[in-house]
Amino acid sequence: MTITNKCDAGPQRQDVHSIDNKRGYQVALSVQGWVFGVASDEPILLGAELAGVELPNSCRNGTCRTCLCQMKQGSVCYRVEWPGVSAEEKADGWILPCVAYATADLVLDVPAALRV
């Protein structure tokens, strides 16, 4: 499990597609058993919404922490220097999907996620 503060614009995977046919990674929600695709150039929250999954959210800029959830597997990066997650929380796998970008397939624990 890896969380980095700088996103590397590396190549996108060819085998996973989000709802809008962009290439990306698979995101599995462990509680619900749902899986959706997210492009590497879109925040996880946006990929979820495009797939018809509603994750808790409010500010969409990494400050309010409404979307805070735990990453059980995978890796993400942030394009903002100051995501509202402490170093200790990052070490425990807590991420902010509104500003986090997948850099690998993910397993997230988001009990409040809904289908829309």
Read off the pTM. Answer: 0.85
pLDDT of residue 8: 62
> How many domains are there within the chain?
1
Q: Which domain, by its residues, includes 45?
A: 2-115
H-type alpha helices, the chain? 44-50, 87-91
CATH number at residue 101: 3.10.20.30
pLDDT of residue 55: 98
pLDDT of residue 36: 94
Q: What is the pLDDT of residues 42-65, one digit of tens each?
A: 999 999 999 999 999 999 999 999
Stated as kind and residue range, the H or E segment containing 46 is helix 44-50
Residue stretches of the chain with pLDDT short of 50: 11-21
